């Protein structure tokens, strides 16, 4: 009897999880395309909840590793670069909007204000989580 190495088992589970996400997304888009949005949304919800549930069980209740160190580090780098890119671009965009509003050239509309609040919530949430993780360890 041969047993699969832990990384191989993790890759198999990752393919299953990604397949569930793909089925959910395709179902939602197909449902919208054929004007059966509710059916597509139901299949999407079941598939995505299955994928999230499988991921949670494997991360916290199983010895199966879904990623190796290289993939984890790659994910950290990608997350950091993405957050920095959108963070700095968003910051300069909102400063420009504030300046345009203050000079009377372009008044801030409700959409811009809503995006500003969403941006602030994301940044403050990141800062709170970062601070908690930094002082926890």
Domain positions in the chain: 6-61, 69-136
Residues 6+ away with beta carbon under 8 Å from 63: 6
With a cut of 50, which residues of the chain have pLDDT below it? 1
Predicted TM-score (pTM) of the model is 0.60
Cα three-residue angle 128-54-6, rounded to 5 degrees: 100
- pLDDT recorded at residue 4: 55
Q: What pLDDT shows up at residue 12?
A: 85
State the pLDDT at residue 63.
77
Q: Residue with structure tokens 């994928």?
A: 51
């Amino acid at each position: 009897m041969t047993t699969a190495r832990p990384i191989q088992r993790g890759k198999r589970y990752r393919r299953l999880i990604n397949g569930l996400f793909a089925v959910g997304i395709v179902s939602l888009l197909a449902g919208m395309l054929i004007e059966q949005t509710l059916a597509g949304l139901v299949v999407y919800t079941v598939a995505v909840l299955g994928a999230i549930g499988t991921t949670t069980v494997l991360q916290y209740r199983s010895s199966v590793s879904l990623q190796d160190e290289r993939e984890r580090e790659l994910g950290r780098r990608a997350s950091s670069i993405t957050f920095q890119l959108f963070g700095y671009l968003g910051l300069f965009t909102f400063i420009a909007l504030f300046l345009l509003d203050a000079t009377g050239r372009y008044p801030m509309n409700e959409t811009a204000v809503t995006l500003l609040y969403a941006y602030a919530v994301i940044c403050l949430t990141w800062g709170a989580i970062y601070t908690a993780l930094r002082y926890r360890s």
